[in-house]
Structure 1
Amino acid sequence: MLLNMLCLSALPAAMVFAEKAPASTAATTNTAQTTVAGSIQKPDLNVLSAVLIEPTTGQILFSENADKPLPPASMTKMMTEYIVAEQVKEGKLKWTDKVTVGENPAQTVGSRIFLAQGDVHTVEELYTAMAVGSANDATVALAERVSGSEQEFVKLMNKTAQELGMKTAYFINATGLDKKDMPEKYRPDTDKEDVMSAMDAAILGKHIVMDHPDFAKFTSIQSYKFRERDKAPIVNYNWMLESNKNVPNFKAYAYPGLDGLKTGHTQNAGNCFTGTAERDGMRLISVVMGTDSEAHRFTETKKLLDYGFDNFEIKQVVAGKSKVEGLDTVPVKKGKATEVGVVTDSDVSFIVPKGSEVKGVQSKTQLEPEDKLVAPIKKGTKVGTVTYTYKAEGIDQPQTKTVNLVTSEEVEKGGWFRLFFRAIKDMFGDLFNSIKNLF
């Protein structure tokens, strides 16, 4: 019987800079410097929490209090950005759609572009102001355009957070403002505030970069003039943009390959930053929360990204269309052939220490029930899955990836004559074995 076979083998006038760091003393945590696997040294950070992941595998490379829910400040806007981009992707919105500004966004404070009630701007203009200048008023205007009101949009934010696997995130507004800083008329009836863990921010960042690979069209913009009449453009709060390498005020922070994602600051949150950079074909996403200054959210991010890029790489361990050891074929019922070859439908890659050999990868297969493998069967038909597991030196948890097992060729349905004589052959074979077992 073919059931569950297992196979195991071995800074402008047009903006109010609300994110500018106050003279505060945000609490910090000194991450003990440790050596992993004898050679890879973890960074020493001054943060409340931090995490570093590789988005295609989801592998966590560094984690410090990463599951603790904290005020995310304007990193909340990543969810607004994601939802609006999804709406455009699904055809529910167009970048060219006009948005009429209501009372709520017009009264919203903090980082803003001074929208007036009745102003009309396109979705793209408001989105750019949100992504580049963290404009609270533009964010609320977009939220109202999507859902009719900010609080209805908040329901969508919380629903989306659950769907994306964000375990601690809870939103009360679209901007990340503390409740007391929202227009009084539009404050929700709750004692809660926006919260999100560093891990949740990384998960959200992962979905932004993977579901919307054109994200940098907005997040990498250095400056943006929202209106022709504005005396100065909006300047991106992200000092680490690679394109800032020639900007005197920011060149000390510019980071090769960095093109996003979102800064955040409130008095309660301290200074936060979700960053992403790509080098040599590998992208990383970092999150730091609760740093004590604008500058330190970037210096701590640099430590995290350097740690990832200096010590790790993505390596393919199984090529697509590969056979699984010990499972070249599976039986087929009612076909011209009685079996068909099976291969993986995609490649498998893991994060490994740079320059290391990949050894000890294990595989475990799970096949479809026998009654599903009945001809005719097309090439590429899923017949099961194979899960690969690998424990890399320098990474705390084993990595796993599951891919489909598919047929490597087509199997046509057998004619009645062929199937009739095959049945007779099988019957006599079973009878012979039964008699043989009597002696």
Structure 2
Amino acid sequence: MLAVSLAVTFVPPSSSKAWAAPELKLNVKSAILIDAESGQVLYENNADEALPPASMAKMMTEYILMEQIKTGKLSWENMVHTSHYAANVGGSGGMLAENEQLSVRDMLYALSIYSSNDASVALAEHIAGTEQQFVAMMNEKAKEIGMSDKAHFTSATGLTRDDIDDPELKSNPLEGETLMTARDAAILGQRLIKDYPEILDFTKIPSKKLREADQYPMTNWNWMLEGKANSEFQKQFAYPGLDGLKTGSTDAAGYCFTGTALRNGMRLVSVVMNAQSTKQNPNKQEREAARFIETRKLLDYGFNNFEAKTVVKKDSAVESLPTVPLKKAVGKTVPVLTAGEVSFLMLKGENESNVKLEATDTTQGKLTAPVKKGDEVGTMTVTYGKTTKTVKLVAAEDVKKAGAFRLFFRSVGGFFSRIGDTIKGWF
């Protein structure tokens, strides 16, 4: 069992490989890799520069849509109208005709599989009335889920003004352009799959017809999906366990991808922004492939080098805080145990010396009997690298209040003890 000791503020040493940037040599402008469960960062490179995310911005459209479903404001079978604006917004998609109606479910298929800009705008208008009002919801939600103040949305699609051909559609009253950092994209992707894991039932689909009468299916822009075999060239990028999340590309953003994969119970989220091909004079297909090549490097690094380790077990005694003081009880203290466990993704073979723990008695000496087993008496912070987790500390047993007779004699004994101490002070 890991011994728990008091610790001051912990600054991770630069020599520790768990948080030092590995030599991945990624050909990207920005990248990050995190644990989907905890948000623990396993790798980052220029992860806090705000960049155009292209269609990765649609993850926020998906998040708000899923939230609307969960709260009952929308149902999967609600019919969504396609406005003139939505039908003509341009870019990826182009599947919907003006005044066409499809269900919320079908619109989400178009958005998540085919990155449909028209479906994204139609959903935004259906939820908020206008895309601009929906964008206000996007920016508010970004703050709520912990994205940085660099994150800024101006559309439900990630399109820039230069991406839109129709002059009437360029008149977006919002200032600036849509921007996110790689860390923002990872936070958004993590929250999307953690809060609404059913989104993966949409993002993992390699291809699907939007309407039964359609001649051809929509094909997923994510070449890393297993079963994604549009061509022999694309087939080589399939990655076992990968089931999302969102591609993106514009002239300003380059080729971007937020990916997620699950292996052996460990789910990771990766982000690459503006990935570049290493080939000389690459063609369009090779330029597009770069984001998947770089994502494979990130995910391979995570799955090959890290494993989940429990560093604090549930119901463990705390060495630095074995008991807390207790008033009006038979005994004067109550033993302390951890209420839960704490795990981190750690480099395989790494010992636990880089884990720092700090236990705190939150009762401030005011805990009074009776006490029930499981009552909270403190907290313990557990730090590894730049990640800190907290576990509650609780009473290990029931403690009854002492009887009046015992409390009386304890009071008398305390009184004479204080007198004795005073007399000793005279000599």
The CA distance in 1 between the partners of 2:218 and 2:353, in whole Å, is: 51
Q: Does 1:353 align with 2:347?
A: yes
The one-letter code sitting in structure 2 at the alignment partner of 1:220 is K
How far residue 177 of structure 1 moved from its aligned partner, in angstroms, is 0.7
C-alpha contact (below 8 Å) 1:57/1:349 kept by paired residues:
no
Q: Does 1:428 align with 2:416?
A: yes
Give the structure 2 partner of residue 333 of structure 1: 327
How far residue 389 of structure 1 moved from its aligned partner, in angstroms, is 2.7
How far residue 339 of structure 1 moved from its aligned partner, in angstroms, is 2.7
Within 5 Å, which residues of 2 pair with 1:24-423? Answer: 41-167=22-148, 168-182=150-164, 184-185=168-169, 187-244=171-228, 248-292=232-276, 293-335=287-329, 338-370=332-364, 373-390=367-384, 397-414=385-402, 416-423=404-411
Give the structure 2 partner of residue 394 of structure 1: none
Question: Greater shift after overlay, 164-173 or 375-384?
Answer: 375-384
How far residue 191 of structure 1 moved from its aligned partner, in angstroms, is 4.3
The Cα offsets for residues 175-233 of structure 1, whole Å up to 9 and x where unpaired, read as 00112444624732244110011111111111112222333111101112111121111
**Cα separation, partners in 2 of 1:414 and 1:232, compared to 1, 3 Å:** farther
The CA distance in 2 between the partners of 1:375 and 1:148, in whole Å, is: 58
**Cα separation, partners in 2 of 1:361 and 1:61, compared to 1, 3 Å:** closer
C-alpha contact (below 8 Å) 2:21/2:45 kept by paired residues:
no
The CA distance in 1 between the partners of 2:124 and 2:61, in whole Å, is: 7
The CA distance in 2 between the partners of 1:135 and 1:243, in whole Å, is: 21
How far residue 235 of structure 1 moved from its aligned partner, in angstroms, is 0.7
Identity %: 49
C-alpha contact (below 8 Å) 1:380/1:409 kept by paired residues:
yes
Gaps in structure 1 of 5+ consecutive residues: 1-5, 11-33, 391-396
TM-score by length of 1: 0.84
3-state SS of 1:250 partner: helix
C-alpha contact (below 8 Å) 2:382/2:389 kept by paired residues:
yes
The Cα offsets for residues 82-108 of structure 1, whole Å up to 9 and x where unpaired, read as 111122223332223232333332222
The CA distance in 2 between the partners of 1:117 and 1:431, in whole Å, is: 92
**Cα separation, partners in 2 of 1:40 and 1:264, compared to 1, 3 Å:** closer
Question: Greater shift after overlay, 151-160 or 330-339?
Answer: 330-339
Q: CA RMSD in A?
A: 2.8
C-alpha contact (below 8 Å) 1:385/1:405 kept by paired residues:
yes
C-alpha contact (below 8 Å) 1:40/1:311 kept by paired residues:
no
The CA distance in 2 between the partners of 1:163 and 1:84, in whole Å, is: 16
How far residue 400 of structure 1 moved from its aligned partner, in angstroms, is 2.8
**Cα separation, partners in 2 of 1:56 and 1:434, compared to 1, 3 Å:** farther
The CA distance in 2 between the partners of 1:328 and 1:36, in whole Å, is: 33
**Cα separation, partners in 2 of 1:290 and 1:360, compared to 1, 3 Å:** closer
**Cα separation, partners in 2 of 1:187 and 1:229, compared to 1, 3 Å:** farther
**Cα separation, partners in 2 of 1:145 and 1:423, compared to 1, 3 Å:** farther
The CA distance in 1 between the partners of 2:134 and 2:23, in whole Å, is: 39
After the TM superposition, which segments of 4 or more aligned residues of structure 1 sit over 6 Å from their partners?
none
The CA distance in 2 between the partners of 1:42 and 1:200, in whole Å, is: 23
The CA distance in 2 between the partners of 1:116 and 1:133, in whole Å, is: 16
Give the structure 2 partner of residue 3 of structure 1: none
The one-letter code sitting in structure 2 at the alignment partner of 1:178 is T
The one-letter code sitting in structure 2 at the alignment partner of 1:172 is T
The one-letter code sitting in structure 1 at the alignment partner of 2:200 is A
Aligned residues between the structures: 404
3-state SS of 1:406 partner: strand
The one-letter code sitting in structure 1 at the alignment partner of 2:333 is E
Gaps in structure 2 of 5+ consecutive residues: 9-14, 277-286
**Cα separation, partners in 2 of 1:86 and 1:409, compared to 1, 3 Å:** farther
C-alpha contact (below 8 Å) 1:206/1:285 kept by paired residues:
yes
Q: Does 1:8 align with 2:10?
A: no
